[in-house]
Structure 1
Amino acid sequence: MVSRKPALNQSGSPEFVFRVFTTVPEFQVLLFLLFLLLYSMILAGNAAIIWMVCTQSSLRTPMYFFLCNLSFMEICYTTDVVPLMLSNILGGQKPIPLAGCGTQMFFFSTFGSIDCFLLTVMAYDRYVAICHPLHYNLIMTQKLCVQMVLGSVGLALFLSLQLTTFTFTLSFCGHRLEINHFLCDVAPIMRLACADISMHEAILYFAGILVLTVPFLLICISYMFITANILRMRSAEGRQRAFSTCSSHLTVVLLQYGCCSLVYLRPRSSTSEDEDRQIALVYTFGTPLLNPLIYTLRNKDVKGALRNAIFHKAASDTS
């Protein structure tokens, strides 16, 4: 059993403060500018994907419908965290109330879970496109695509609500508590509790399996069938085209699931709070920033649509 300090008799709800990255003013300014630049690039890159999918008729397919939703979730995901993070870098340790911390945790868990589920849906879309190309339009109807996105959102909302509610049933040791993190994530909040959290950690691990392991296994199964089908293709050009449609998605999957698994699926005894915070920086800034770059640089359809959009914009400006 994990020993905890007794709860202090403080009036009012507890408040939380995030541990600062550095107390050196010059470094604070540099970090603020760096994270602001990354956040701006995330917003611009993902907004460009959404704009292209909505305006270019060549991208109005199920694959890019899912990509558009993924980019929107990436914008929501980072916006839930980064503005408050930037405020704390320059403004010091501003407290966040219990309700505010719970709200951030809920939306952070929700958007992160939706990302994982959408990547699974996109793997199924690639499976149907490559393994059942003649029936693709019959299977991947607009109705089914919308249902899969709504199902991903609904499941993520349900799981996040349960996890957030369960986390904040804990009693905390004091009134003003410091979180060794830059956001209200489940694990660092649990570490501030006054009671034994072994059951809570087990439930967090189980939730991680539901959100990470099960979808990743489904993605792996999809790609097993995809790989087998590609290897049976006689045309080298056909194999190359099939591989190119999957490589971008597979790269994003490895980035997303790799980073999240290091935080949520490692045994608690082998993790440190500083390591979790460093890895969290990668999946908070790295994957939302790389997603539009990967899909733009490695996808001929997106690059072609981007060139067409820029050409038409330039032509309309000169006319």
Structure 2
Amino acid sequence: MTRKWRPSLGLVIGGALAGTLVLSFLGLIALRYLGPEIGFRQAAMVLGVIIAAITAVPGWLLVRLLLRPIHDLETYAAAQEQGQDAPAPRHFGTKEIDTTARGVISMAEALRDREATIRSYTDHVTHELKTPVSAIRAAVELLSDDPELSADNRVLLEQINGARLQMEAQLEALREAAQAREVRYLGTCEISEVIAELQGDHPILTLTLEGVATRFPISGKGMAIILSQLLRNAAEHGAQTVQLVATAGQLTLQDDGSGISDGNAARIFEPFFTTKRESGGTGMGLAVVRNILHAHRGEIALVPSQTGTRFEIDFAQP
């Protein structure tokens, strides 16, 4: 289908400026010749009305070709950010706005399709592996009831069962990671609104909150999920106290645990990387945290610290 011709932005703005200049010049000429005939005051009033009426035409064109398309594109982008299924705008003004808008719409559709593909593939993989994992579990339970099973075979059976538990944990972590790429916890919150809940969920830790009262662009539920994972990691590394410092757009967590070794520091956000595989670790906790933060224009980084572990969470300023 042939794309409709659209004027360039330079033509629209240049035409509006040129038209205004020409109209003002013609008004001065008309006033010079019309003033002596009907009076300069009356001539100025008549010409003012005529000029205002004619100027309304380029004003209407600017609204139609510039302001309305930009507003429609802004509304569409806001709907996509909120996860709403809003129809894409169909009408654009100038050539430049048309090109930019179509690029934004194509990018939004590509990102939505990519997320849907990842979610579909994850669901397919976890569903297909569920049956063989269930079969392994049933076989382990059946063989465990055999009184004639030798000690060596029982050790082997325990290893098989441990591998099965690890597979189930990895599949669940994979589902959580895929979900974290899509789910957004819309709203805002202050850390003071969730710290009581966090303290109750992690009674072995002593939490302190310092800094200014600032609202972060994520709901309290989303912030609680992020901080719970970080506090869980702190407890697993022997921490007893965790200090949270809130500033404008940034949240810092400092614990007094054993810290993270230099060799592991560069890999802690990699999916499935863990040093606690034998105790059921999946290595997806920090990956999920990072995905949730990315969905809210946030970043998390491990910052060098003389004692314990220090994380900094930064949210993009609006």
Normalized per residue, the structure richer in strand is 2
Instruction: Tell me, yes or no, whether TM beats 0.5.
Output: no
TM-score with structure 2 setting the length: 0.30
* Alignment TM-score, normalising by the size of structure 1: 0.30
Larger RCO: 1 or 2 (CA < 8 Å, sep 6+): 1
